[in-house]
């Protein structure tokens, strides 16, 4: 029996992978109910290739919006660079899709046949003695488990208990995310447009036939600054913000996990954000959790626990590290404030041939699993 802590994207995908391999699992999740919450999410072609293997790619595509073009623009929606995601989708025989997180979660849940998902179970303590793990939950329950997978996200309790030197770093960027019904111009209906202004950027992502997911980042956490910062952007930005009910706006700080050398200890292993929480700039955090889940499940089927965990980190670490670092660098570039530096940056971006951007995206979309 494999015990998974956390029914987020990584935990649910792992459960699906284990089911497909006929391996037994149970999930303990802190939320009282698995209700469809959150904003939107981009599932790049690499993530969708895994979902294709698991037989749910078509459902996701049907419920979301296929993305054909990824554009970086200035604040007036003038293109700085573009990636032809459609061409890459054809090449990898797998689309890039944007979808509401809640819809994705529902598809994952509905695709599982086991009912071994226990909600309202927040893990608060963990002790590990050799190969015995004692898990304490906030309702007072104590469970002794053999193999445990920590899919409990960026603030992982498991990671904090096992690896106290790992740290969550704040990157001084602040993010607002919203979803609203919006009649987007048809030219933008299969595009993601991320607009870079001065110390502020805004992404516009269609996630189905009628809803738009947007994300706005600033270098300033003053909530009054948030809409103000975007007044000089293309008018579609203010329209989107105005059209979004305040209860549909989520605020958070941009963080990254640093200093975690090992992803496992004895018979406990971390996956997803618990192991490598990254900035959202490449839209790859969930994608990497999904890849983790698939690789780990395959290894656990073939190897003993220690070998599977050791091989898992060996296979995954270099790729993930590369994405974490690139994503952080993109974030710093995107949030520049100096007019001179932004001018140089924009000029350079316009000069880089699309083929180079596409080659870089292709490396991310290429999974060797
Ligand atoms: C602003 C923003 C935008 C993003 N956009 C994208 C994107 O477009 N594409 C993309 O690929 N990624 C994106 N990401 C990253 C993505 O959200 C994460 O990488 C992904 O959700 C990680 O999945 P996970 O399963 O590891 O963690 P989570 O999805 O966070 O799931 C963790 C689960 O564990 C549960 N849990 C937590 N603590 C406990 C506990 N103590 N006991 C029991 N259960 C617990 C939680 O309730 C949750 O259900 C974005 C991130 C941010 C911040």
Total number of domains in the chain: 1
Index of the ligand 1 atom closest to the CA of residue 273:
26
CA of residue 30 to ligand 1 center, whole Å: 13
Which among 273, 226, 302, 266 is positioned nearest to 23, based on CA atoms? Answer: 302
Distances (CA, A) of 39 to 89, 170, 213, 249: 24, 21, 7, 8
Task: Grade residue 131 by pLDDT with cuts at 50, 70 and 90.
Answer: confident
**Ligand 1 pocket mutation pick from 14, 273, 316 by most atoms within 8 angstroms of CB:** 273
Q: pLDDT value at position 369?
A: 77
Give the number of residues written for the chain: 369
Name the strands in the sheet holding 40-43, side by side, starting at the edge strand that comes first in the sequence.
40-43, 97-100, 65-66
Pocket of ligand 1 (CB under 6 A): 5-11, 28-31, 41-42, 122-123, 151-153, 157, 175, 177, 215, 252, 272-274, 280, 283-287, 289
**Ligand 1 pocket mutation pick from 286, 294, 319, 335 by most atoms within 8 angstroms of CB:** 286
53 domain-assigned: yes
193 domain-assigned: no
Joined together, the tokens standing for residue 89 give: 């989708």
8 A C-beta contact, residue 193 and residue 213? no
pLDDT in tens, 162-189: 999 999 999 989 999 999 999 999 999 9
Closest-CA residue, ligand 1 atom 7, reads 283
Residues ≥6 apart with Cβ < 8 Å to 345: 333, 336
Average pLDDT over residues 100-119: 93
Residue 216 and residue 75: Cα distance in Å, rounded? 12
39 domain-assigned: yes
- Give me the domain span that covers residue 276: 2-169+255-365
Residue 360 and residue 364: Cα distance in Å, rounded? 7
Joined together, the tokens standing for residue 187 give: 């030219």
pLDDT in tens, 273-289: 999 999 999 999 999 99
224 domain-assigned: no
8 A C-beta contact, residue 60 and residue 40? no
| Higher-pLDDT residue of 102, 35 | 102
Domain with residue 309: its CATH number is: 3.50.50.60
239 domain-assigned: no
**Ligand 1 pocket mutation pick from 6, 192, 207 by most atoms within 8 angstroms of CB:** 6
Closest-CA residue, ligand 1 atom 21, reads 286
Ramachandran angles phi, psi of 142, nearest 5°:
-125, 130
Name the strands in the sheet holding 2-5, side by side, starting at the edge strand that comes first in the sequence.
117-118, 25-28, 2-5, 147-150, 268-270, 264-265
pLDDT of 157 higher than 80 = yes
pLDDT of 225 higher than 80 = no
182 domain-assigned: no
pLDDT of 30 higher than 80 = yes
176 domain-assigned: no
218 domain-assigned: no
8 A C-beta contact, residue 316 and residue 369? no
pLDDT in tens, 39-82: 999 999 999 999 999 999 999 999 999 999 999 999 999 999 99
């Amino acid at each position: 029996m494999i015990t998974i802590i956390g029914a987020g994207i990584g935990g649910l995908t792992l459960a699906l992978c284990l089911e497909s391999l006929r391996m037994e699992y149970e999930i303990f999740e802190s939320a009282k109910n698995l209700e469809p919450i959150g904003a939107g999410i981009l599932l790049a072609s690499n993530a969708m290739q895994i979902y294709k293997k698991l037989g749910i790619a078509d459902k996701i595509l049907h419920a979301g919006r296929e993305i054909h073009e990824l554009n970086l623009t200035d604040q007036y929606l003038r293109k700085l660079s573009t990636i032809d995601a459609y061409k890459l989708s054809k090449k990898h025989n797998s689309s890039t899709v944007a979808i509401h997180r809640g819809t994705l979660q529902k598809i994952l849940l509905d695709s599982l046949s086991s009912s071994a998902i226990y909600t309202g179970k927040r893990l608060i303590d963990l002790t590990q003695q050799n190969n015995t793990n004692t898990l304490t939950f906030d309702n007072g329950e104590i469970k002794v488990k053999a193999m445990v997978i920590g899919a409990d996200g960026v603030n992982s309790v498991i990671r904090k208990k096992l690896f106290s030197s790992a740290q969550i770093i704040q990157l001084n960027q602040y993010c607002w995310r919203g979803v609203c019904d919006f009649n987007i111009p048809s030219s933008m209906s299969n595009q993601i447009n991320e607009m870079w202004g001065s110390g502020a950027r805004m992404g516009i992502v269609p996630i189905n036939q009628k809803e738009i997911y947007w994300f706005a980042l600033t270098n300033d956490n003053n909530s009054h600054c948030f809409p103000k910062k975007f007044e000089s952007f293309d008018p579609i930005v203010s329209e989107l913000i105005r059209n979004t009910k305040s209860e549909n706006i989520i605020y958070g700080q941009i963080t990254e996990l640093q200093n975690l050398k090992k992803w496992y200890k004895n018979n406990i292993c971390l996956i997803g954000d618990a192991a490598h929480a990254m900035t959202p700039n490449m839209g790859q955090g969930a994608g990497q959790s999904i890849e983790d889940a698939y690789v780990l499940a395959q290894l656990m089927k073939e190897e003993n626990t220690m070998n599977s965990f050791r091989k898992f980190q060996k296979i995954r670490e270099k790729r993930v590290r590369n994405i974490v670092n690139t994503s952080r660098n993109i974030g710093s570039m995107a949030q520049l404030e100096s007019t001179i530096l932004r001018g140089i940056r924009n000029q350079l971006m316009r000069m880089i041939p699309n083929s180079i951007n596409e080659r870089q995206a292709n490396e991310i979309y290429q999974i060797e699993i």
